[in-house]
């Protein structure tokens, strides 16, 4: 075998295809095993978490009150109440965030793909990357310094939304940018050749072509910000009652509902925070899966 | 910063653009797009600027050395705060998370691009991506209430046998930096995997075939062709993961922040990171008199993540320059 | 150490699609055999079955037998990796490993085979580079990246890399199609020298090239698109070009189609 080929010229074996090198074959097998194992290791937490949340949280969700009632007047020890206030709070905050972040994100992406050249474009692209990496707690602190210390406003749900906007913009920019880049140049040129101005070309030709991809990006972005807790801790103290006004009073949200009850050791609170966790995961996963499905559908149609 | 030079160029932009006619619709639309771009730049600068402006007064009132003193006493009578302990726990937990996550992420990326049968590869990739969709607070409660009991035996064993190293010294606290690192590793796994997967998939098939034709086994082909090609991408992916870990708040807060106790260098101690310190004290944000210290800590975190992310970006750019 | 190849009734598939049908041929040691034929006739696909590179493509499989000195390459206990070490290959586009130096590129295959002795490596790298007519051009910059060479030099580097593992057969898949005429001549000269040591099979689009470098020529053709490619005839090169047995061969080499 080729184990000892120390002589200056290693002789070619007579019929080398009969003699696979065992050491190398073993290494190859080991690598295969390692690679498959790594994948299993990566999937275990996902399965485990989903199992945990479903098994511990499903009970709360099966009670119809969960979807209709708030926690008003309910202490940690008492059973009952629902998550309606938190669900509606999370949805309202997500909606406001999207309304602000999507136009800015989409227009920034349009700038980067359709207009941007030179230093400013590079600066914008760099800053989008930096924004992607800004921790949610830093975004929250920034809005705090702006909203509370500079303007002197109270901490309200709208301030939370502003912090979430910061986190959502880069997701929307990057996914929209990807989609716009995929729109073939011939389409734009065909439109210009018909005498259509650039802005109408973008509005009527480029954006519709990229539309489903942009929707995917928005849904994934929403999925990310809905699960954020840090901005809520700093800017949106929890509430047990229903409040639909983002500019006044405290508004509940699912992450703060979990956080508020998680260190209680009584069964009632335990059921509630796992229930809230399951509700949150369902919302986030639904958005996530919807986003992926749309992008897959989009691929087929191309 | 670079925007100032960017502005002058901006004015020249629309006129140089042949497709834009000078009509009003184009001017408005182009303006909106450019405005959004500038807004993003201004936003990031404002984040740094505002944090700095609020941190400075607090730092001036600080009776301790911010960078070197290991105290954190912020109350109405005065402020003494320093960050070395926070910095230590932040960096150590994130680095540990990276050490755990990167090898697994690279192997998973290799699985998805080089090993998994085609039909299985994309649903498998999606499963890993779903890990990123789990909210961090869920990671926190799962990590602390469900996962922790399974790790205590292992942690005790490590502390017993390797306790002589400072890092693994016992006793093992309830929520440890060690446990936080594992959970952080799970949380950053999807992003590192996703980017590594992308670069591995781009390995030119000519390079792979070149290696195979020399009689390389699949693993040797990966080592000769795929990994060298993907290394810069993996490095920048790891940096992005590190950035995520540094700034992760709630999961860390739930796991290590439960009872920080007396500071120890051991991984088996509790502790506070920049982010978890701020979040743990979120009650203070009701009155703005004491928040300056936390904003100073937030500023440090911002600078730290900025540097890490900028470095990742530079590496990616350089790789692009190479491959084109 | 050159060896003979015997192919019997070989069918080649991409999943369900039969790309090549019923090929039987023999290749003698220390000869150059050229495969010619129109695009899509399966000559490259067939070439890749001779070192089991075909099965690298998902869904790629074969029926029939390919024997190397009487041993079936597709036998049950045969390791495809060992086959590829024995039957080297040079590709259409030069593909030096971009992250490796010239030296490391040539040494790559030997290192894979566990050769760690520096002296042996150095000797064999020099011998291979000389064998590929590249030594004089690169001996002063062995530590520079291989990607910095010209296209023709890169292709000779790839040939050096292939012969450094001391294969018994060398397959070349249109090795000159990405090169300029001068580099092409250099490679053709090299093929003439290499055949004293190796059995060489070369796929080419260029009939003059086939005529210049090969001892025997095989003509492949396909009845229609979507139909499998077939071996039409194989014979001594001068026979094929002067007096082919088949009408299709004559039409092809006289430029009437393809």
Least trusted range by pLDDT, from A17-21, B293-297, C182-186: A17-21
The CA angle B17-B21-B23, to the nearest 5 degrees, is 135
Which of A222-233 are b and which e, b meaning 16 or more Cβ less than 10 Å from the residue's Cβ? bbbbbbbbbbbb
Taking residues B84-106, report their average pLDDT: 95
- Give the DSSP per-residue string, B241-270: HHHHHHH--HHHHHHHTT---S--SSTTS-
Q: Which two tokens stand for residue A144?
A: 């705090």
CATH architecture of B81-323: Orthogonal Bundle (1.10)
Query: Is A45 a domain residue?
Result: yes
**pLDDT exceeds cutoff 80 at A302:** no
Residues in chain C closer than 8 A to B212 (CB atoms): 53, 56, 84
Residues A174 and A42 grouped into a single domain: no
The CA angle B58-B60-B63, to the nearest 5 degrees, is 90
pLDDT in tens, B183-227: 999 999 999 999 999 999 999 999 999 999 998 999 999 999 999
Count of all residues that appear for chain A in the document: 302
C115 confidence band (pLDDT: 50, 70, 90) = confident
Query: Is A188 a domain residue?
Result: yes
Residues A75 and A41 grouped into a single domain: no
Q: How far is CA A91 from CA A94, A216, B105, C53, C80, in A?
A: 5, 18, 33, 55, 57
Residues A57 and A73 grouped into a single domain: no
**Minimal-distance CA residue of chain C relative to B115:** C58
Query: Is A153 a domain residue?
Result: yes
Cβ contact (<8 Å) for B209 and C162?
A: no
C 140-179 residues inside an 8 A Cβ radius of A = 166, 168
Residues A96 and A224 grouped into a single domain: yes
**pLDDT exceeds cutoff 50 at A7:** no
| C-alpha to C-alpha distance for A205 and A188, rounded to whole angstroms | 7
pLDDT in tens, A120-160: 999 999 999 999 999 999 999 999 999 988 898 888 999 99
| C-alpha to C-alpha distance for B135 and B130, rounded to whole angstroms | 10
Considering A9-18, A33-42, A77-86, the range whose residues carry the highest mean pLDDT is: A33-42
| C-alpha to C-alpha distance for B279 and B291, rounded to whole angstroms | 12
| C-alpha to C-alpha distance for B245 and B266, rounded to whole angstroms | 19
Q: Are B209 and C53 in contact (CB under 8 A)?
A: yes
| C-alpha to C-alpha distance for B193 and C206, rounded to whole angstroms | 45
Residues in chain C closer than 8 A to B225 (CB atoms): 97
Q: Which two tokens stand for residue C67?
A: 């024997």
Shortest distance, CA C211 to any CA of chain A (angstroms): 32
B15 confidence band (pLDDT: 50, 70, 90) = very low
DSSP C8: E
Shortest distance, CA C115 to any CA of chain A (angstroms): 8
Q: Are A217 and A176 in contact (CB under 8 A)?
A: yes
Cβ contact (<8 Å) for A226 and B248?
A: no
**pLDDT exceeds cutoff 70 at B104:** yes
Helices (H), chain B: 2-16, 24-61, 84-110, 118-130, 136-141, 148-162, 177-201, 205-213, 218-221, 227-247, 250-256, 274-280, 291-323
Residues in chain C closer than 8 A to B224 (CB atoms): 97, 108, 112
Q: Are A74 and A137 in contact (CB under 8 A)?
A: no
Cβ contact (<8 Å) for C113 and A9?
A: no
Nearest to C58 among B118, B210, B216 (CB): B118
Give B277-281 contacts, CB < 8 A, sequence gap 24+.
Answer: B277/B72, B277/B86, B278/A137, B278/A141, B278/A234, B278/B249, B279/A137, B279/A230, B279/A233, B279/A234, B279/B249, B279/B250, B279/B253, B280/B253
Q: Which two tokens stand for residue B89?
A: 């726990």
Closest CA to B319 of B219, B203, B192, B188: B203
| C-alpha to C-alpha distance for C216 and B8, rounded to whole angstroms | 69
Q: How far is CA A64 from CA A70, A83, A112, A253, B205, in A?
A: 12, 10, 48, 19, 56
- Give the DSSP per-residue string, A203-264: IIIIHHHHHHHHHHHHHHHHHHHHT--HHHHHH----SS----TTSS----HHHHHHHHTT-
Instruction: Kindly report the three-state secondary structure assignment for every residue of A123-172.
Output: HHHHHHHHHHHCCHHHHHHHHHHHHHHHCCCCCCHHHHHHHHHHHHHHHH
Q: What is the percent of chain B with per-residue pLDDT over 70, rounded to a whole number?
A: 89
Residues A27 and A80 grouped into a single domain: no
**pLDDT exceeds cutoff 90 at B290:** no
User: pTM for this one?
Assistant: 0.87
**CATH code for residues C5-97+168-253:** 3.40.50.300
**Minimal-distance CA residue of chain B relative to A149:** B288
**pLDDT exceeds cutoff 80 at A294:** yes
Residues A263 and A155 grouped into a single domain: yes
Within an 8 Å CB–CB cutoff, is residue B225 touching chain C?
Answer: yes
Residues A244 and A158 grouped into a single domain: yes
Q: Please report the pLDDT score of residue A1 as a whole number.
A: 38
3-state helix, strand, coil in chain A (%, to 5): 75, 0, 25
- Name the domain count of chain A: 2
C175 confidence band (pLDDT: 50, 70, 90) = very high
Shortest distance, CA C153 to any CA of chain A (angstroms): 26
Q: Are A252 and A86 in contact (CB under 8 A)?
A: yes
Residues A197 and A96 grouped into a single domain: yes
Q: Where are the domains positioned within chain B?
A: 2-61, 81-323
ipTM of predicted complex: 0.87
Strands B78-81 and C71-72, by their bridges, are: unpaired
A51: containing domain? 16-62
Q: Where are the domains positioned within chain C?
A: 5-97+168-253
Nearest to C97 among B207, B215, B231 (CB): B207
Cβ contact (<8 Å) for A132 and B309?
A: yes
Q: Which two tokens stand for residue B158?
A: 């490590």
Q: How many helices (H) and strands (E) does chain C have?
A: 10, 10
Taking residues A161-176, report their average pLDDT: 94
Residues A179 and A38 grouped into a single domain: no
Residue identified by tokens 């009584």 is A266
Residues in chain B closer than 8 A to C86 (CB atoms): 215
Q: Which two tokens stand for residue B265?
A: 């260098």
Residues A30 and A121 grouped into a single domain: no
């Amino acid at each position: 075998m080729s184990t000892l080929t120390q002589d200056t010229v290693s002789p070619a074996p007579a019929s080398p295809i009969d003699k696979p090198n065992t050491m190398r074959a073993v290494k190859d097998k080991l690598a295969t095993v390692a690679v498959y194992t790594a994948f299993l290791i990566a999937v275990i937490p996902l399965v485990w978490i989903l199992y945990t949340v479903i098994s511990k949280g499903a009970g709360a969700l099966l009670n119809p009150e969960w979807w209709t009632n708030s926690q008003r007047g309910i202490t940690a020890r008492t059973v009952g109440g629902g998550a309606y206030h938190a669900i509606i709070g999370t949805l309202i905050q997500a909606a406001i965030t999207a309304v602000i972040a999507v136009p800015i994100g989409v227009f920034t992406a349009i700038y980067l793909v359709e207009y941007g050249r030179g230093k400013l474009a590079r600066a914008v692209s760099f800053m989008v990357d930096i924004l992607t990496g800004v921790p949610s707690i830093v975004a929250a602190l920034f809005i705090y310094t702006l909203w509370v210390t500079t303007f002197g406003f109270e901490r309200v749900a709208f301030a939370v939304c502003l912090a979430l906007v910061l986190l959502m913009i880069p997701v929307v920019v990057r996914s929209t940018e990807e989609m716009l880049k995929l729109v073939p140049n011939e389409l734009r040129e065909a439109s210009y050749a018909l005498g259509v101005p650039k802005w109408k070309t973008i509005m009527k030709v480029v954006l519709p072509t990229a539309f489903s991809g942009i929707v995917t990006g928005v849904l994934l972005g929403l999925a990310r910000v809905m699960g954020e807790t840090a901005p809520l801790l700093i800017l949106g103290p929890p509430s047990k009652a229903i409040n639909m006004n983002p500019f006044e009073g405290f508004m509940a949200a699912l992450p703060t509902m979990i956080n508020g009850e998680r260190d209680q050791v009584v069964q009632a609170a335990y059921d509630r925070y796992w229930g809230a966790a399951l509700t949150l995961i369902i919302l986030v996963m639904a958005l996530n899966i919807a986003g992926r499905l749309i992008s897959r559908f989009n691929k087929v149609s191309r | 910063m670079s925007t100032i030079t960017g502005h002058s160029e901006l004015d020249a932009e629309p006129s140089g653009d042949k497709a834009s006619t000078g009509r009003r619709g184009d001017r408005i639309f182009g303006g909106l797009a450019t405005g959004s771009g500038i807004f993003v730049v201004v936003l990031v600068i404002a984040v740094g600027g505002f944090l700095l402006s609020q941190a400075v007064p607090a730092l001036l009132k600080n009776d301790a050395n911010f960078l070197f003193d290991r105290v954190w006493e912020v109350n109405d009578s005065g402020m003494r705060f320093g960050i070395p302990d926070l910095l230590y726990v932040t960096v150590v937990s994130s680095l540990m998370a990276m050490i755990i996550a990167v090898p697994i992420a690279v192997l998973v990326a290799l699985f998805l691009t080089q090993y998994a049968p085609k039909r299985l590869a994309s649903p498998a990739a999606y499963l890993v991506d779903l890990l990123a969709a789990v909210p961090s607070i869920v990671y926190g409660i799962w990590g602390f209430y469900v996962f922790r009991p399974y790790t205590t035996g292992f942690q005790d064993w490590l502390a017993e046998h390797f306790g002589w190293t400072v890092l693994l010294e016992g006793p093992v606290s309830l929520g440890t930096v060690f446990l936080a690192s594992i959970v952080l590793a799970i949380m950053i796994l999807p992003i590192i995997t996703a980017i590594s997967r992308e670069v591995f998939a781009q390995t030119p098939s000519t390079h792979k075939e070149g290696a195979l034709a020399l009689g390389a086994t699949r693993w040797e082909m990966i080592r000769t062709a795929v990994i060298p090609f993907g290394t810069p991408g993996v490095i920048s992916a790891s940096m992005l993961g590190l950035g995520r870990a540094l700034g992760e708040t709630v999961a860390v807060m739930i796991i290590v922040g439960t009872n920080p106790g007396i500071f120890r260098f051991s991984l088996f101690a509790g502790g506070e990171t920049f982010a978890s310190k701020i979040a743990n004290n979120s009650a203070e944000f009701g009155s703005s008199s004491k928040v300056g210290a936390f904003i100073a800590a937030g500023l440090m975190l911002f600078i730290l993540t900025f540097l890490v992310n900028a470095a990742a970006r530079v590496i990616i750019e350089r790789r692009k320059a190479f491959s084109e | 150490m050159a060896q003979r190849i015997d192919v019997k009734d070989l069918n080649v598939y991409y999943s369900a699609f039969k790309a090549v049908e019923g090929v039987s041929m023999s290749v003698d040691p220390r000869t150059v055999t050229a495969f010619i034929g129109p695009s899509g006739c399966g000559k490259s696909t067939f070439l890749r079955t001779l070192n089991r590179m075909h099965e690298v493509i998902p869904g790629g499989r074969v029926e029939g037998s390919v024997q190397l000195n009487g041993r079936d390459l597709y036998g049950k206990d045969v390791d495809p990796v060992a086959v590829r070490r024995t039957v080297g290959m040079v590709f259409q586009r030069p593909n030096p490993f971009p992250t490796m130096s010239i030296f490391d590129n040539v040494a790559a295959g030997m290192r894979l085979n566990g050769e760690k002795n520096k002296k042996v490596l150095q000797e064999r790298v020099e011998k291979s580079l000389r064998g590929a007519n590249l030594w004089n051009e690169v001996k002063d910059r062995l530590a520079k990246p291989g990607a910095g060479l010209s296209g023709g030099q890169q292709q000779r580097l790839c040939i050096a890399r292939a012969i450094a593992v001391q294969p018994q057969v060398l397959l070349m898949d249109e090795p000159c199609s990405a090169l300029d005429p001068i580099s092409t001549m250099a490679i053709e000269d090299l093929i003439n020298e290499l055949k004293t040591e190796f059995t060489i099979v070369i796929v080419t689009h260029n009939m003059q090239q086939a005529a210049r470098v090969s001892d025997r020529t095989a003509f492949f053709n396909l009845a229609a698109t979507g139909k499998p490619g077939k071996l039409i005839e194989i014979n001594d090169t001068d026979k094929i070009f002067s007096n082919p047995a088949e009408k299709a061969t004559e039409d092809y080499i006289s430029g009437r189609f393809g």
